[in-house]
Amino acid sequence: MHIPDGYLSPSTCATFYLFAATGWYAALKRVKQLLATRAIPLISVFAAFSFVVMMFNVPLPGGTTGHAVGVGIAAIVLGPWASILAISIALAIQALFFGDGGITTLGANCFNMAIVGSFTAYAVYRIIAANSELNSHRRIVAAAVAGYVAINASALVTAVELGIQPMLLHDASGMPLYAPYPLHVAIPAMMIGHLTFAGLAEAVISAGMVSYLQRADLSLLRGVTAFARAPGTMITGANGEVSPGRFSPGRLWWVVACLMLFTPLGILAAGTAWGEWSSADLMNPHTREQIGAASGNHAPPSSVPSGIEKLSTVWTAPFPGYAPRFIKSPAFGYLISAMFGVGILVLASLLARVAARKWPGRNLHP
Amino acid sequence: MSRHSFLEATLQGFTRAVSKALQSEHAATQPGLLQQLDPRVRVLGIFALVISVILCRRIEAIAAILLVAIAIAVASRVSPASLAKRVWLVVLGFSGVIALPALFLTPGVPLFVLRYATLHLTITVQGVRTAVLLVLRVETAATLTTVLVLSTAWTHILKALRSLHIPAEIVIMLAMTHRYVFLLIETANQMFESRKSRTVGTLSGSERRKMTARTAGVLLSKSIELSQEVYLAMLSRGFRGEVRLLTDFRLKARDYAGLTAFLFTGCVAVWMGR
């Protein structure tokens, strides 16, 4: 998955350096807040550990072996932010010192493996592990799935980066100037190897290490601030688990407000959303043309499929097309729809909180 | 696959990494062209040439940069034989295999048709150019990077990175990681070797996986313990979170000449290869 120099165009390299730099900056800031002076030695030694684990030949079912990136266990033990830095440093050493992965593609490689991998692994692990005991089997399964999904998410992003190169840059005769294969070749070629060997290697190493740590050193599964011993930064959650960061509802409201303000951007999207066609879209010659073009030049059926026709009248939305009928400006309609949708969710959340206070004995998390 | 081959493959990987590092350390001390230049000029100059390789769109221009890279390597006491072993064959094995289907999959003017029974595979002119362009570009960039690594001590590369305005925290992390990589490789090596010497009989697939994961787990515990010790050692030496690096490099006339030569070569190549 380490993209060497020469596979990505200069514009792609620059874009992903920008993405990666944003991630590094945010991660460095967050990790310094979280770990203070402890950050540098912890991240450095963990990066060295990740580097060495990447060299392990992991035995896989069927007698073959594979290499893991170690992003699953890094995200579980360090949390996503510190994991981004540790894996990025390991990748930088590989590129600068051992020539594994390019210099111009280092931004893309760090984005794919360190940023996408860390966040995916952490999110999947937290969702599956939920509030289970630290030494439960559920955590082992969560680690395996987290490692497997993270490495495949990274591989998919890598394949997309490689697959868009022929579209982005080619000469007058149509000859690709960088990675030569389009998306329909790059994605299967990349994913077959990762859905089988590489994903499995990551799952084996993540699950095996969590299983080992459950018996040998449970403290490492409590979260980075628990074992890093940075005074004054611990936030203890269920099971003595330590949250990797401070949750601020105030900031979340600002994010939601910004997202609402940006909802009219949806108007800029050309064509129809693939697979979200109405009966009217399937009968309109102009939209039929767009549907055909977006479906690999396969013409849509000449009449509306009976299932769509039958079910289309079951429910009529109050705001069809993200705008109440009386509003003429589409941008204002998008804003009103966003405010209405967020309002409903806030109301549902408040009702759930009132219900939880009224019946405190009912535990929603068994 | 023999019963211990995964262990041996891992051990060989460790040995290869350490021997590569030793080779770099040795080459960096040789009196050569690049070694005489300021490390910042070396890093900036080679990075500029790598970027020019990525910007070039013509095979001829990239081939010219490869020739320049080989000339720099020879003048810096890096033999073409070691480059062939360390870079060219490895890249050809990887990127060559990836580029091969492009010969047939790239649409264009037919050059040659391979016929076997009912199978007809057409190699196109565009396919050949695409494959050659990809392999040549990867070979040239990898050659330049390897020449830099072989001619510059790691500590000098790190100090030069500071001149690219990379934050001091990142540079110090790179330096510390590099230092502890070799310690952890040695630790992992010893663990695998001792396990190998104690193992009698055939390990099942499940046992092999458990063994690998446990070794990684022990290594993780040791790493965290080590980071704690390093932290305490840093605190006891007065570390308060501020990072300062000594930069004692001074640019001389030959460094300015070297940098000008690198940038001029890069610009000419980009102009020729546009």
> pLDDT at position A242, please?
45
Task: Say yes or no: B59 contacts chain A, CB-CB below 8 A.
Answer: no
For the packed helices B154-162 and B168-198, what is the interaxial angle rounded to 10 degrees?
A: 150
Q: Is A220's pLDDT higher than 70?
A: yes
Q: What percent of chain A has pLDDT over 90?
A: 22
Q: How many CB atoms lie within 10 A of CB B65?
A: 27
Average pLDDT of the segment spanning A335-344:
76
B149 and B17 together in one domain:
no
Average pLDDT of the segment spanning A309-325:
65
> pLDDT at position A277, please?
64
> pLDDT at position B204, please?
79
Q: Is A155's pLDDT higher than 70?
A: yes
- In whole angstroms, what is the distance from residue B166 CA to residue A19 CA? 16
Which residues, at least 6 apart from A124, have a Cβ–Cβ distance to it below 8 Å? Answer: A142, A145, A146, A149, A150
> pLDDT at position A249, please?
55
Parse chain A into domains and list their residue ranges. 10-247, 249-262+322-366
Average pLDDT of the segment spanning A22-40:
84
Of B137, B173, B185, which has the smallest distance from its Cβ to A6's Cβ?
B137
Task: Measure Cα distances from A128 to A121, A140, A152 in Å.
Answer: 11, 10, 17
> pLDDT at position A232, please?
37
Of B133, B212, B235, which has the smallest distance from its Cβ to A56's Cβ?
B212
| Contact in structure between B18 and B182 (CB atoms under 8 Å) | yes
> pLDDT at position A365, please?
40
CATH code of the domain made up of A10-247: 1.10.1760.20
> What is the amino acid identity at position B41?
V
Residues of A in contact with B165 (CB under 8 A): none
> pLDDT at position B65, please?
93
Q: Is A88's pLDDT higher than 90?
A: yes
B195 and B185 together in one domain:
yes
Q: Which among B181, B211, B229, B270 is the top mutation candidate for probing chain A, defined by the most A β-carbons within 10 Å of its own β-carbon? A: B181
* Helix, strand, coil percent values for chain B (each to nearest 5): 75, 5, 20
B125 and B39 together in one domain:
yes
Q: How far apart are the first and last CA of chain B?
A: 49
B45 and B134 together in one domain:
yes
φ, ψ for residue A251, nearest 5 deg: -65, -40
> pLDDT at position A360, please?
54
B267 and B211 together in one domain:
no
At residue A84 the predicted structure's pLDDT band, cuts being 50, 70 and 90, is very high
Q: Which residue has the higher pLDDT, A37 or A266?
A: A37
Q: What number is the ipTM of this complex?
A: 0.84
Q: Is A345's pLDDT higher than 60?
A: yes
CB within 8 Å: A98 and B17: yes
Q: Is A309's pLDDT higher than 80?
A: no
Average pLDDT of the segment spanning A199-222:
87
Which residues, at least 6 apart from A128, have a Cβ–Cβ distance to it below 8 Å? Answer: A138, A141, A142, A145, A146
Number of domains in chain B: 2
CB within 8 Å: B105 and A209: no
How far A237 CA lies from chain B's nearest CA (Å)? Answer: 22
With a CB-CB cutoff of 8 Å, which residues 177-216 of chain B face chain A? Answer: 177-181, 183-185, 188, 205, 208-210, 212-216
Of A4, A43, A96, which has the smallest distance from its Cβ to B157's Cβ?
A96
| Contact in structure between B79 and B87 (CB atoms under 8 Å) | no
Average pLDDT of the segment spanning A29-42:
81
> pLDDT at position B102, please?
84
At residue A235 the predicted structure's pLDDT band, cuts being 50, 70 and 90, is very low
Tell me the per-residue pLDDT of A119-148, one tens digit each, with 9 for 90 and over: 999 999 999 988 888 888 999 999 999 999
> pLDDT at position A240, please?
46
B125 and B189 together in one domain:
no
- In whole angstroms, what is the distance from residue A207 CA to residue A125 CA? 11
B193 and B261 together in one domain:
no
> pLDDT at position A259, please?
73
CB within 8 Å: A175 and B126: yes
b/e string for A25-42 if b means 16 or more Cβ within 10 A?
A: eebbebbbebbbebbbbb
Chain B residue with CA closest to A89: the answer is B174
B9 and B64 together in one domain:
no
Residues of B in contact with A73 (CB under 8 A): 216, 220
DSSP H helical ranges for B29-100:
39-55, 59-75, 80-83, 89-99
Range of the domain at B198: 1-29+166-246
Q: What percent of chain A has pLDDT over 70?
A: 75
B240 and B272 together in one domain:
no
Block means of pLDDT (10 residues each) for chain B, length 274 residues?
66 82 78 86 91 90 93 90 87 85 81 77 84 91 90 83 80 87 89 85 80 87 87 84 68 85 87 81
Average pLDDT of the segment spanning A336-350:
75
> pLDDT at position B4, please?
55
Q: What is the DSSP letter of B119?
A: E
Task: Say yes or no: B63 contacts chain A, CB-CB below 8 A.
Answer: no
How many residue pairs from chains A and B have C-beta atoms closer than 8 A?
Answer: 250
B170 and B37 together in one domain:
no
Q: How many CB atoms lie within 10 A of CB B59?
A: 14
B37 and B130 together in one domain:
yes
Q: How many CB atoms lie within 10 A of CB A84?
A: 33
Q: What is the mean pLDDT of chain A?
A: 78
Q: Strand locations in A170-236, DSSP E?
A: none
B155 and B19 together in one domain:
no
Q: Which residue has the higher pLDDT, B42 or A295?
A: B42
